[in-house]
Amino acid sequence: MTHVNTEAAVVPASRYPHGYASVRSLATRGIRAVAAVANPTLPVTTSRFCDEVVTVPPSYDLVPYRDALLDLAARPDVRTILPHRPQDPYVLSKHADAFDPHVDLVVPPFETLRTVHDRKRLMEVVSDAGVSVPETRLLDEAAGWETDRIVKSRYNLLAAEYVDSFTPTDSRIVKTVKHLPAGESVDVDALCEKMGHVPIVQEYVAGADEYVFGALYDRGEALATFGHRQLREDSYAGGGGVYRESVRSPELDAAGRRALDALDWHGLACLEFVEDAETGEFTLVEINPRMWQSLATAVRAGADFPYWYWLLATGRSDRIDPDYRVGVGTHYLYGELEHLVSVLREDSAFVARPSVLGTVASIARSWVERPQFDDFHLDDPSPALRQVRNEFVRVVGRRLGRE
């Protein structure tokens, strides 16, 4: 790529497509994109938009990972680091004093981050601000519920600041979600042991649709917001969006801003909402304080959050134009496969399983109607080809291992 200047931004990328969306966004704006990856065979490393690949320790090893990011931050060409991985906000905020002499970051203060990472505490804070939230309790205090409910991790990230049994270098992400119909009991001790802490129980909100509200804030002031509707997720029972379309909803925008205003937010945020099937009210499920998996939809619609983050971090937020187009849809190809696999293998007590043929037809039809993809572009096909190669190697390796 040809660049306007030599200033660089670090993108801690993973197997998910939002790292590629950021690399592509920055490079097309004349900003050098440095991909920091634990696995140098990731698809993003093959992109023609990726100027440099640096191998770093796995992000779950917090101390070595922090030190590697500090080494990158100390380079004279690096101006900022864009938080992508779940551990990034934790590391960048907790150790802000170490990063501040080297780079300009846009992350919330650690006490604010602690509130957002603690889903129980978060629900209390935003509920007091008038945001609709599901009833939420700790699992060991949740006896006697007569409604459908969901058990999931209390924290976005398990780490020493939140869970006493963790050392400063350890972290873990618990993705286990258990659906409990009304009246069904659960082995509390076994589930707590499996999750490594006392999880939360939330009432199940039957949703007409699920939405994501993305935002960039500067010390309590909203600079840009964005909304998209989830059309298909990585599981038929719910999860991360793998096919979505940009929307503009005043009600969604108001609910998202109300939550972030209550937190006096600073930096990036991805808020997940369920539109209540009975009331039409937007109910907040959780907040992720970083770039989100479905970032490519926002960027393609004109909501260029990677570039906007760069502008804010480098003191040029006055250049941010927060407008975007509605009705723009994109697909995450591997995520679509995960959705199909969920139809074949998963069960939900709350969501009826769709037919396999109907799912295949729906996916195929949407690809024809909206042939825009997160990680496949005709002007840069290498990342998609590398993804296919990686999955082939993984499947073959698993098969050989069984044999």
3-state secondary structure 6-32: CCEEEEECCCCCHHHHHHHHHHHCCCE
Q: CA-CA-CA-CA torsion for 99, 104, 108, 111, nearest 10 degrees? A: 30
At 82-134, the pLDDT tens digits run 999 999 999 999 999 999 999 999 999 999 999 999 999 999 999 999 999 99
Give every residue of the chain whose pLDDT is below 70, as ranges: 1-5, 395-403
- As to burial, measured by CB atoms within 10 angstroms (0-12 exposed, 13-18 middle, 19+ buried), residue 108 is buried
pLDDT of residue 127: 97
d(CA 245, CA 140): 39
pLDDT at 395: 58
| DSSP 8-state symbol, 236 | T
User: Which amino acid appears at position 215 of this protein?
Assistant: A
CA distances from 7 to 75, 225, 232, 379 (A): 10, 26, 38, 24
- Long-range contacts (CB closer than 8 Å, 24 or more residues apart) made by 92-98: 94/161, 95/66, 95/70, 98/66, 98/70
3-state SS class at 50: coil
**CA 125, 288, 8 angle in degrees (round to 5)?**
130
Residue 277 has a pLDDT of 80
Q: Is there a contact between 44 and 13 (Cβ–Cβ < 8 Å)?
A: yes
- Looking at residue 1, its pLDDT comes to 47
d(CA 244, CA 264): 28
* pTM score, whole prediction: 0.94
Supply the pLDDT for residue 142: 77
What is the reported pLDDT for 261?
Answer: 98
Q: Label residue 45 exposed, middle or buried (CB < 10 Å: 0-12, 13-18, 19+).
A: buried
Structural domains of the chain, ranges and CATH numbers in brackets:
8-110 (3.40.50.20), 135-203 (no CATH)
